[in-house]
Amino acid sequence: MTPLEILRGAYQLIGSRETWTQRTTARRANGENIAFYAPEAASWCALGAIFRTAGIGAIPRLRDLPAEVKEAVAELTQALPPASQAAIALGHVTMANDHYGYEVIDRAFYETIKRLSEQEEIGAESSGRRSVPAVPALT
């Protein structure tokens, strides 16, 4: 998967307040904490949705993440409010998810997907290919 595909899939998972969560990677429908990769998961935090979409099967160490996942997180981080210099990409996404709220995460996903889709379209046009980006509606 490309970083754009990962972000699109994750954004679909957390496309509403009902399927988004805070302070854990995922929850069951009853609100109980559960692993992001569990089949019973009904809501995810931003990072949990990214990991789930990318097919990560357990909570990973940063060095073990596939390059596409690291790039997706780095791209999303660019659309988040500034963090302290000590914040790393994964920590910043988690902090933003838990402290800034759904609107900030929703907008960050939307803006990142839109930007990457536009870049992909420009690349396709310059190579002679046509592509129509799938940009989700801003809620």
| Predicted confidence (pLDDT) per residue in 52-100, tens digit | 999 998 877 878 899 999 999 999 999 988 764 445 556 788 888 998 8
Helix, coil or strand: residue 64: helix
**End-to-end Cα, the chain, rounded Å:** 25
Helix, coil or strand: residue 106: helix
Q: What are the residue ranges spanned by the domains of the chain?
A: 3-126
Do 14 and 20 meet the contact criterion of CB atoms below 8 Å apart? yes
The pTM of this model reads 0.83
- Which of 25-34, 89-98, 102-111 has the lowest average pLDDT? 89-98
Do 52 and 44 meet the contact criterion of CB atoms below 8 Å apart? yes
Q: In this predicted model, what pLDDT tens digit does every residue of 9-24 receive, in sequence order?
A: 999 999 999 999 999 9
pLDDT at 126: 65
Of the candidates 133, 67, 75, which has an alpha carbon nearest to the alpha carbon of residue 108?
Answer: 75
* pLDDT at residue 37 tops 70: yes
